[in-house]
Amino acid sequence: MSKQTSKWLMRWCAVVGVFALVSSAAAQPAPAGNKPDVTLGSTPDTVVWGYISARVPPVLRIKSGTTVRIDTMSHQGLVTRDDPVTFFGRAGIKPEEVLQDAKDIYAKVPRGKGLGVHVLTGPIYVEGAVPGDALEVRVLDLEFRVPYGVNNTGPGSGVLPDLVATPTPRIIKSDLQRKIAFLPGGIELPLSPFLGIMAVAPPPDLIIVSSGPPGKWAGNLDLKTLTVGSTLYIPVFNDGALFYTGDPHGVQGDGEVDGGALEQSLTATLQFILHKGAGKSMRGPRAEDASNYYALGLDVDLNMAMKIAVRETVELLQEKAGLTAAEAYSVASLGVDFRVAEAVDSVQIIYGTIPKKFFKQNPTYWSNR
């Protein structure tokens, strides 16, 4: 056996081993009726504002397999000079219709100076998690907390920063029974909620990072496919993983081109599953749902993000279908759609959608779905 062949086989075995680790718990069921083991509110004692850090004391400790019902709070209505009651009152929203969490966070939680805008619930400490592991986060349910949200743009925002001359926060109401948002021009847009931010604490040499740009710790992915029924995998960099979530969205188009989604507070039911050693080969977050794998490319340059997403796609096709690089490249070109998830943060994201029907065998995706 040649040295080159030997190295290839060793690499292949390592790859298969990593995917076996991640797949070994793939059939683990979600709890019946998505019943949570524990609930975590978004209060001044359980949130941070604008940053992610490994140095924040955990607000909850859980074991692998635990299901947590987590309140999340939109930052919109909190980042203006006016308090939330005054801000939302301009749209006819009564004081009692404004979440108490919003009032308390606005009054009591300090916002990280020069950092992000997002209010994040956490961190959650996962017992047994150490650097080199991977944390699987299953999105079991997403509930709207209020029947309204905000889309905010203005000077310097989005991909056309000179288009809008004055700040334009737009309060958008929704019909939660019909699951639609009422947009300008009489447009009724179906709601499709997701969490803009799910993250673990970054590597310890990064003492604190803004909640704005995403990274290999995930974070502000603004990936609209991470709705109910999806799974996000994140490499772990600290003991306990230290999971944060927030930036809840009612709906968003790919690209988030004006700089914002429909920023709308949600309650998420998430299940956390730890995969020992599976994060060592991960360059960053991965995602999937029942129909597709999602290969992510993150970079400050959108062209480079595209290259990373394509490379991740090619490698996944090689790993799961046993293709050569040339064969996988061809399949990626013919059968994989690449979309811009995020074009407005300093780190931008492109994702490839890889249909699971390409593969003859796929692990059972959640045993009760």
- Taking only the tens place, the pLDDT of each residue in 198-211 is 999 999 999 999 99
pTM of the model: 0.92
pLDDT for residue 362: 86
pLDDT category, 368, cuts 50, 70, 90? low
Percent of the chain with pLDDT over 90: 86
| For residue 58, pLDDT beyond 60 | yes
Which of 19-33, 101-115, 318-332 is least confident? 19-33
| For residue 20, pLDDT beyond 50 | no
pLDDT category, 18, cuts 50, 70, 90? very low
Which of 6-15, 197-206, 258-267 is least confident? 6-15
Q: Encode pLDDT of 81-118 as tens digits.
A: 899 999 999 999 999 999 999 999 999 999 878 899 99
Per-position DSSP letters for 27-92, written without gaps between them: TPPPPGGG--SEEE--STTTEEESEE-TTSPPSEEE-TT-EEEEE---STTTSSSS-HHHHHHTTT
Q: How high is the mean pLDDT of the chain?
A: 92
| For residue 42, pLDDT beyond 50 | yes
Q: Which residue has the tokens 């069921």?
A: 29
**Going by C-beta distance under 8 Å and a sequence separation of 6 or more, which residues neighbour residue 4?**
none
| For residue 1, pLDDT beyond 50 | no
Of the two residues 19 and 49, the one the predictor is more confident about is: 49
Q: Which residue has the tokens 């080199």?
A: 132
Mean pLDDT of all residues in 183-200: 98
| For residue 310, pLDDT beyond 70 | yes
Identify the burial level of 225 via C-beta atoms within 10 angstroms of its C-beta, where 0-12 means exposed, 13-18 middle and 19 or more buried.
buried
What does R_g of the chain's alpha carbons equal in angstroms?
21
Q: Encode pLDDT of 224-241 as tens digits.
A: 999 999 999 999 999 999
Identify the burial level of 302 via C-beta atoms within 10 angstroms of its C-beta, where 0-12 means exposed, 13-18 middle and 19 or more buried.
middle
| For residue 23, pLDDT beyond 50 | no
Residue of 131, 78, 66, 80 whose CA lies nearest to 102: 78
pLDDT for residue 241: 98
pLDDT for residue 95: 97
**What whole-number distance in Å separates Cα of residue 351 and Cα of residue 338?**
6
Category of 34 on φ-ψ map: left (φ > 0), alpha (ψ -120 to 50) or beta: left
